[in-house]
Structures are given as C-alpha cells and as structure tokens.
Amino acid sequence: MGPEDVEIEQLMDNGSDALTPEQAYSLKSSLRELLWVLLAAVLLAGVFLVFFRASLVRGSSMEPTLRNGDCLFVRTVGYHAPEYGDIVAGKAKDQKDSEAYAQKACETWLDVRSFGQVFAFKDTKGVSIGVRGPVSVHQGVSVSPVQVEDMQITKSVNGESGEKARTSDTMGLKHFVRFGLYKIKGSINVQLAEKTGFTEEDAQVLKECLRTLFVNDASSARPDGSMEVCRLYWFRHSCKDGQYSSAVVHRSVRAELKDPDAFPSSQEDYKMILEPLEGLEPEILDGV
C-alpha cells in the first residue's frame, strides 16, 4: 500500500465521525429552541422586576401570617386602594426621606401639623417617623366632685346565635354623670408650629372647633343638648416664648361655687373668675 492509499484511508476514517445532514439540522433546531427559551425567560424576568420587587420580612409583628426572614414579592406598579387583609409595604430609606415624608404629611393634614403623629413607615433600622405637634390639650378635670349614677338597661337586640346567645331580656347597667363642670387647658408652641407649618389660619380653625366642639356630635352617650362649651378664653402673647408661662395663664382662669355648701346642678351655680395679667388680655367667646 503506497502513500496515496494511506492518505485516502485517513480521510475516510475522519469522515466517518462527521454529522449527517439530518443530524446537523436537528442540532441547529435544538440550539435555536434553547436560545428562544432563554430569551423568553430573560424578558419575563425583566417584566416581573418592573412590576414587582423582592422584600424581606424583618421582625415578628405579623406572625403567624408572615415570619421573620420570609420573602415577599411586592407590587410596585398599578396602585389600588388597600382592602381588608391586604399587606402594604412601606419604607423610609434614610433620614432625608423621613423628613420629606413628615413635611408632606404636615402640608396635607391639619391634624398632623397641629397635634403631631407617629407613622408606621420603617427603615432597615426599624425607626418610625415621628412628628411633634405644637398643639397640646390637657385632660378635662371637674371643678367640683361629680356623682356617678347607675341606670338599669335591657338588651333588646341579640347579635349572637347558638348556645352562647343571650336572650333579649338581658339586664345591664349604664353609668352616667348627671352634671359636671369641667376645665380643659391647652396651648400652642410657636417653635413647633414653625417646624410643622402650623399657621395663624390653622389657629383660627382650632379656635372655632373648640367653640363648637359638641355641634353635630350627638350619640347615645352624649344626647343632643347634654354637652356644651360654656366659655372659651383665648390668650394671644406678644412674643414667641410668651409673656407668661402656660401654668400662670391657666391659673388665671377658674370657676368657684357661688354657694360652697350647695351641690351644683348647672353652670349658673358657678362664678367665672379671670385674674388680670398685665399686658395680656384674652378674647372671651361663648361656646355653642
């Protein structure tokens, strides 16, 4: 066998491992399908990331529904009003964002820039957003001791069923105060008002709200005409820190019984006393 014969045999051996046209076509089709599948997966992942983001649950406040470390996919596009049972995610990224949220809330809502609020937005450190309001209102304290009376009532509507249901003749007690004169004190801090954006117009709204506090507020516990604002004393200082302290101003207004031995039954049994404070005259308004 000469050199030419060896070369021919080698070529024949190498050619025996080559793909047939049918095999080559099948391989190309498989690669093409795999490429389309990968491209479709990338496109779907991109669309998913546009509309959703992964969020990690931190803390145990939502147990047993969600546990610490659970992963959620939160929808970021297409807002709709939350319904009962929905999970709403909020996040304050840094201190700058927290201040922006607080400022926007103060601009939007009168009660926030008046009384303050604590919002449930949390950053990764678990710090809530707090707003200190300039308006503070004390609890009402009766000028004289009050007498709490009991009234027996009968339940006429049964909202339960089954063995634990109560009959319509179930008896109970309702407690009430027949008469009491209460003193409520409050103040507006100018420095905090400047931070929240509380304006003079807001103060006028607050004053009118206090004067008409019980208008359209009737209920079974407060029948119409059973509660009223007797008198409103509105002090306006000439400086930010106040001409007098809030405690001094509060003590300048008081009510005393005309007859110390009598049990009061109306506001006419009292005399209102206003001690003068030099340079500070209040605006006196009758309530509704």
The residues, any chain, with a CB within 8 Å of residue 149's CB and separated by 6 or more, are 175, 176, 177, 178
Mean pLDDT of the chain: 82
Amino acid 124: pLDDT: 43
* pLDDT tens digits, one per residue of 153-186: 876 666 666 666 666 666 788 888 999 999 999 9
Q: How many whole angstroms separate alpha carbon 40 and alpha carbon 72?
A: 24
Contact 136, 114 (CB under 8 A): no
Listed range (128-142, 149-163, 233-247) with the worst mean pLDDT: 149-163
Answer whether 233's CB lies under 8 Å from 161's CB: no
Give the SS3 label for residue 136: strand
pTM (two decimals): 0.62
Between CA 22 and CA 55 the distance in angstroms is 50
How far is the C-alpha of 271 from the C-alpha of 274, rounded, in Å? 10
Mean pLDDT highest for which of 54-63, 76-85, 267-276?
267-276
Confidence of residue 54 (pLDDT cuts 50, 70, 90): confident
